Amino acid sequence: MSRFWSPVVAGLSPYVPGEQPKLRNLVKLNTNENPYGPSPKVLEAIRAACDDSLRLYPDPGAEQLRQAIGRRYGVEPAQVFVGNGSDEVLALAFQALLNHDAPLRFPDITYSFYPVYCGLYGIRQQTVPLTTDFRIDPADYLPGAGKGAGPVILPNPNAPTGRALPLGDIERIVAANPDVVVVVDEAYIDFGGESAVPLVARHDNLLVIQTLSKSRSLAGLRVGYAIGSTALIEGLDRVKNSFNSYPIDRLALAGAVAAIEDDAYFQQTCAAVVRTRDALTADLHGFGFEVLPSAANFVFARHPGRDAAQLAAALRQEGIIVRHFRHPRIDQFLRISVGTDAECHSLVQALKGIF
């Protein structure tokens, strides 16, 4: 605590990064990274971009990438905004679009950065409890359901539950709140959810945020993007240009374009993750776990007879890192990222030793 800090900074918890396996051969199933490497075409494009042109600033408009995303998702480049990971895109959306008179609405169990950004940017929040079976109930976001009519942010699939909302439910929420922004955070959408991007053509209050960190295996490159109406994109641009007019660096631009364009590799690796997730779910059921239906690259599971924190510690002893949350409603769950078949096999072997 320093006397120079603002009250907001004093209230923030220091960031504790997930454990990074450096020394031992740990199986890292705690941060939802893709177990497969990025497309070879991405690596080739980044290598090719490593030349003297690095002395030059990158394209402030990220034109080539916005065009590639536009082509891939059937939108105009003017409907695309690019940033350093979706965390940055989210931060800019909070500042530009979600700072409304009425509080921002989001689930009580969701991505932990939403309340943090509310604190940082002075945005009031209204958390909406998940149902008893850990679903988002769309009715809770329709007029008359809550107290206010503030903007909404929802991850689809939700994190850390992995449960997805059907597109029809997303559209009902977006259509019922035409005067405020509805952000759908689609970090995990490619592992089984239905993207809301096609709704952007009909709803100018919808902003869809995606990332290259998960389904395109590029968490290390830090690229995320938003798709929405030109009015929403211009709002994001205004805030971004006020503190850093260069969205992402030259190497990230080159790699991201190649990643978006290599659809075959993307489809293949997503399908592999989904297959392993389904096999892992069956294995966990075999040990007596309850596993929430997941549309993401992780599963959220609890065991009726075992304490989750102890289970996480026992797995750690076996060299396997999974994620345990201290939030009282979910502290009996483990979130397990889907690894390779071999990593998931190691997990199953470790569980055999524990049970």
> In this structure, is the dihedral angle defined by the CA atoms of residues 146, 104, 159 and 224, taken in order, positive or negative?
positive
User: Does the footprint of ligand PMP cover residue 86 (CB under 6 A)?
Assistant: yes
User: Does the footprint of ligand PMP cover residue 213 (CB under 6 A)?
Assistant: yes
Q: Are 93 and 121 in contact (CB under 8 A)?
A: no
Nearest distance in Å: CB 352, ligand PMP: 30
**Which 3-state string (H, E, C) describes the chain?**
CCCCCCHHHHCCCCCCCCCCCCCCCCEECCCCCCCCCCCHHHHHHHHHHCCHHHHCCCCCCCHHHHHHHHHHHCCCHHHEEEECHHHHHHHHHHHHCCCCCCCEEEECCCCCHHHHHHHHHCCCEEEECCCCCCCCCHHHHCCCCCCCCCCEEEECCCCCCCCCCCHHHHHHHHHHCCCCCEEEECCCHHHCCCCCHHHHHCCCCEEEEEECCCCCCCCCCCCEEEEECHHHHHHHHHHHHHHCCCCCCHHHHHHHHHHHHCHHHHHHHHHHHHHHHHHHHHHHHHCCCEECCCCCCEEEEECCCCCHHHHHHHHHHCCEECEECCCCCCCCEEEEECCCHHHHHHHHHHHHHHC
Nearest distance in Å: CB 266, ligand PMP: 16
Burial of 168 (0-12, 13-18, 19+ CB in 10 A): exposed
User: Does the footprint of ligand PMP cover residue 35 (CB under 6 A)?
Assistant: no
Q: Are 220 and 235 in contact (CB under 8 A)?
A: no
Nearer Cβ to ligand PMP, position 19 or 53? 19
Q: What token pair was written down for 11?
A: 């209230």
User: Does the footprint of ligand PMP cover residue 294 (CB under 6 A)?
Assistant: no
Please select the residue that binds ligand PMP; options are 66, 80, 87, 233, rule is CB under 6 A.
87
User: Does the footprint of ligand PMP cover residue 85 (CB under 6 A)?
Assistant: yes
User: Does the footprint of ligand PMP cover residue 195 (CB under 6 A)?
Assistant: no
User: Does the footprint of ligand PMP cover residue 29 (CB under 6 A)?
Assistant: no
Site string (224-243) toward ligand PMP, x via CB under 6 A: x-------------------
User: Does the footprint of ligand PMP cover residue 256 (CB under 6 A)?
Assistant: no
Span from 56-64, 83-91, 134-142, 332-340 in contact with ligand PMP (CB under 6 A) = 83-91
Size of the site for ligand PMP (CB under 6 A): 12
Nearer Cβ to ligand PMP, position 53 or 108? 108
User: Does the footprint of ligand PMP cover residue 111 (CB under 6 A)?
Assistant: yes
User: Does the footprint of ligand PMP cover residue 155 (CB under 6 A)?
Assistant: yes
Please select the residue that binds ligand PMP; options are 49, 80, 154, 159, rule is CB under 6 A.
159
Nearest distance in Å: CB 192, ligand PMP: 15
Nearer Cβ to ligand PMP, position 199 or 219? 219
Nearest distance in Å: CB 256, ligand PMP: 12
User: Does the footprint of ligand PMP cover residue 128 (CB under 6 A)?
Assistant: no
Nearer Cβ to ligand PMP, position 188 or 265? 188
Nearer Cβ to ligand PMP, position 34 or 79? 34
Nearer Cβ to ligand PMP, position 106 or 265? 106
Q: Which residues bind ligand PMP (CB under 6 A)?
A: 85-87, 111, 155, 159, 185, 187, 211, 213, 219, 224
